[in-house]
Amino acid sequence: MTQLLIIGGSDAGISAALRAREVEPSVDVTVVVADAFPNYSICGLPFYVSGEVSDWRGLAHRTVNEIESKGIRLLLNHTATAIDPAKKNVEVVDKSGQKQNLLYDHLVIATGASPVRPQIVGLDLPGVYLLHTMEDSFRVHQHVNETNPKTATIIGAGYIGLEMADAFRHRGMQVTLIVRSEVLRSTVDASMARVVEDELHRHDVEVIKQVDVESIRRDGSRVMVSGSNGFRKSADLVLMALGVRPSSGLAARAGILTGARGAIRVNREMATNLRDIYAAGDCVETWHRVARQNTYLPLGTTAHKQGRIAGENAVGGHRPFAGSLGTQVVKVFDLAVARTGLREDEAQAAGFTPFSHEIKVWDHKAYYPGAHELLIRVTGDRRNGRLLGAQMVGHWQAEVAKRIDVFATALFHAMNVEELNDLDLSYTPPVSSPWDPVQMSAQDWVNAKERNIG
């Protein structure tokens, strides 16, 4: 019987296991899971800490029983420590330190990503937390419930940082958000970031920009954060949210090549440079469909897709990964912030001749109650009008996510900006207009480009 071994039990690993069993029901599948929580929604952790999700068990995409019912063996609380490609085995160790070697015919590496830990003093002090795993969320949740902190300092303004600012305010805490950059959020352009910053201020979140955190120390029962330009801030709780890096060390030690930001290098079929070894998810490079090059895009949606392809190909398939557009959305209090494709600077770096234009437009007919204004930024190529990317900020109930998905679909099919107007999109006054906001932004982009060129 063919032995498929998968290292990692999050989105990519479980997707690979399930797809392999669908394609080849006779394959023997074992998944090595470093903790006791396979296939949990890490993206949902802020909503558990906030109390909006009352039971952490609800964060499971699938339960252990559901996964095992598909004929998949789960080795929970086991960590892979070494891969021997010549002997086709993987050394794993359980929580008690007991080692064993697992043989494989085909291997999928889905080790995910690890939180960035800067080289500063005090990261391991009581009251200082990361939020990346289920255990992390339990620790933060317990701290909040047992000590009832009044203040929190968050270092970093990525998805977790922004969502945790919302979560801590939901729990009644005063929140300070510290970022190194001049612009609050690097994944969208400055005009969009300013709207997000205004929303944070509106909900009484203190935003401190252009500060490098240099040390963290105890300040009595509190935690003191010190940084550049004489910055000092004391709080009951500190959360580090500086993003992630690929967990590729295990693969690299086995001779597997790495690329962008140290992520595992794979081809479009998710195969590594070593025979019978595939990789997927937040530990690997991602083919960007617009930029036509590999990059590092650790997103749950991408991990699910890559895992599915790796699982299928590991048991004999040849399906290529279609590529990612970096489509993403985050809810920050009452706002949704979304993007897909390339920003103007990214498009320039990829060899395009980009032109960007913004428009403010109502999400539905303004005469119907509850209309919300959307800010939409479209980036296209000056030379041929090809759509290159889009960004959007608006009320979270204004269908921001689904409208960025329209742009994503157009990008996937390499459409021109003008062609968005040909799409047959739905309309009724409570939800849209005869020309959807996506199409109005496309028309405005075309007009602006013509004025700019002419």
Which pair of tokens denotes residue 284? 């690997």
Is the per-residue pLDDT at 78 higher than 80? yes
Q: Stretch 9-28: mean pLDDT, rounded?
A: 97
Question: Which residue do the tokens 């706002």 mark?
Answer: 335
What digits encode the pLDDT tens for the residues 400-412?
999 999 999 999 9
* Residue that is written with structure tokens 């398939």 in the block: 317
Q: Which residue has the tokens 């002997």?
A: 87
Average pLDDT over residues 198-222: 95
What pLDDT score was predicted for residue 184?
Answer: 81
Q: Annotate 55-82 with DSSP letters as a single string.
A: -GGGGBSS-HHHHHTTTEEEETTEEEEE
Q: What is the mean pLDDT of residues 366-391?
A: 97
287 forms beta bridges with: 294
Return the pLDDT at 28.
Answer: 97
- One-letter amino acid identity for 189? D
Amino acid identity, position 441: S
Instruction: Write out pLDDT tens, residues 289-310.
Output: 999 999 999 999 999 999 999 9
The vertex-447 CA angle with 443 and 453, nearest 5°, equals: 145
| pLDDT band at residue 183 under the 50/70/90 scheme | confident
Question: What pLDDT does 187 receive?
Answer: 85
Of the pLDDT bands very low, low, confident and very high (cuts 50, 70, 90), residue 451 is confident
Catalytic (active-site) positions: 43
pLDDT value at 125 more than 80:
yes
Per-residue model confidence as pLDDT tens digits over 323-342: 999 999 999 999 999 999 99
Q: Are 333 and 382 in contact (CB under 8 A)?
A: no
What average pLDDT does the segment 234-253 reach?
96
pLDDT value at position 452? 77
In terms of phi and psi (left: phi > 0; alpha: psi -120 to 50; beta: otherwise), the region of 351 is left
Q: What is the DSSP pairing of strand 222-227 with strand 213-219?
A: antiparallel
Residue 9 burial (CB count, 10 A): 28
Is the pLDDT confidence value at 185 over 80? no
Phi-psi region of 21 (alpha: psi -120 to 50; beta: other; left: phi over 0): alpha
Mean pLDDT of 164-173: 96
Q: What is the mean pLDDT of residues 44-63?
A: 92
Q: Which of 22-36, 165-179, 183-197, 324-338 has the lowest mean pLDDT?
A: 183-197
Residues 98-108: pLDDT tens digits?
999 999 999 99
- Amino acid letter at 346? E
Which domains can be identified in the chain, with CATH numbers?
3-48+56-113+245-314 (3.50.50.60), 128-242 (3.50.50.60), 335-453 (3.30.390.30)
Q: What is the mean pLDDT of the chain?
A: 95
* pLDDT over 50 at 348, yes or no: yes
Instruction: For residues 284 and 7, give the distance between their C-alpha atoms in angstroms, rounded to a whole number.
Output: 13
Q: What share of the chain is helix, strand, coil (3-state, %, to 5)?
A: 30, 30, 40
Looking up tokens 């559901």 gives 66
Q: Output the pTM of the full model.
A: 0.95
Residue 453 has pLDDT above 70, yes or no: no
Q: What's the order of all strands across the beta sheet hosting 78-84?
A: 78-84, 89-94, 99-103
Element (H, E) at 307: helix 300-314
Q: Is pLDDT above 60 for 394?
A: yes
pLDDT for residue 192: 92
Return the pLDDT at 454. 38
The residue type found at 405 is: D
The single-letter DSSP state of residue 265 is P
